[in-house]
Amino acid sequence: MRWSPILITSVLTILTSGGSARPTSNVTSTLYKRSVVCGLNVRTAVAEDCLDNRPLLNFAQSGSLTRPTVSRVAVPNDDEIPPGAACDHVVELQVLQEAMLQSGMCQLVAVLARIGISRATQLQAMANVINGPGNLIFLDSRINRGKASYVRNAMAGAQITNEVVANVAVNAYLRDQTVSSSSLVIAQHLDATITAILNDAVARAQQIPPLHPQVRPPNQQIADQQNFRNTVLHFASIPPAQRITVTRLWSRVLRATLVSVDE
């Protein structure tokens, strides 16, 4: 996935405490974006991620122009991005965003924000995972540029063909055993951070006594608390098997089949 260093410019006006998930220690990452996650405007991921957490793998494009593939090459023993390479966040932020939207977790994040738990605080653990060393690989820039659309189409179940040459190399990259297995672990870790948000919300909701249905909230704060309680407990009642997860969407990407078209 291609990343560029665009700094955060603003946050949604409903936020009053912090506009981005910010580092709190030398092991905490800033949450970056390809697109907004649950209403939080954040800056895009930058190559410096791979300088701060240098990847152990480096994939270069090989094969022919019409049938490209990937080959592992040595990671240079220096502090620079290898020539022709990009810093790839294997599990893309768009996958996390889609899982949060489809599962309804963005609604949960919103009601938590209304009772004073900022989006930045809630999403910080996700930032640490998706921008952490386990999700970073040096990848040939030509493959990296084609990866976002491949992932988007795979998540949607759209047909992916070799008519787009970049798809061939992206498919080979994601089918590498190390890439596929390690990225699946990252997806599972992201789901664990989502579960932690839900568990925290449920614990907070259970501490709020319910109002009688015929009693109107005496003020906006109480109204927000009751809305929070009802939203959280309703969401928690949904069987986990029925929720869209990062792991489920990412597995769909890894299983995507490349369709050959007649030349």
| pLDDT one-digit tens code per residue, 15-58 | 223 344 433 333 344 444 444 678 764 443 456 778 878 888 99
Whether residue 46 contacts residue 32, with contact meaning beta carbons closer than 8 Å, is answered with yes
Q: What is the reported pLDDT for 77? A: 83
| pTM score of the predicted model | 0.82
Q: What is the reported pLDDT for 209? A: 92
Residue 263 covered by a domain = no
Whether residue 182 contacts residue 132, with contact meaning beta carbons closer than 8 Å, is answered with no
Q: Is the dihedral of CA 1, 183, 127, 131 positive or negative?
A: negative
Q: What is the reported pLDDT for 186? A: 97
Domain range enclosing 222:
48-258
Residue 16 covered by a domain = no
Q: How far is residue 14's CA from residue 7's CA, in Å, rounded to a whole number?
A: 20
Strand segments, DSSP code E, in the chain are 58-63, 68-72, 85-89, 136-140, 160-161, 258-259
Say which DSSP state 105 is in: H
Whether residue 128 contacts residue 220, with contact meaning beta carbons closer than 8 Å, is answered with no
Backbone angles phi, psi at 45, to 5 degrees: -65, 150
**3-state class (DSSP) for residue 102:** helix
Residue 105 covered by a domain = yes
- Looking at every residue in the chain, the average pLDDT score rounds to 82
Q: What is the reported pLDDT for 181? A: 97
Residue 245 covered by a domain = yes
pLDDT over threshold 90, residue 217: no
Residue 18 covered by a domain = no
The arithmetic mean of pLDDT across residues 110-124, rounded, is 88
Looking at 5-9, 78-82, 136-140, 169-173, which range is the least confident one?
A: 5-9
Where residue 180 falls (left for φ over 0; alpha for ψ -120 to 50; beta otherwise) is alpha
The number of domains in the chain is: 1
Whether residue 186 contacts residue 125, with contact meaning beta carbons closer than 8 Å, is answered with no
pLDDT over threshold 50, residue 103: yes
pLDDT over threshold 50, residue 239: yes
Q: What is the reported pLDDT for 23? A: 35
One-letter identity of residue 13: T
- Each residue's pLDDT tens digit, 149-166: 999 999 999 999 999 999
Q: What is the reported pLDDT for 262? A: 63
pLDDT over threshold 70, residue 1: no
The arithmetic mean of pLDDT across residues 140-144, rounded, is 93
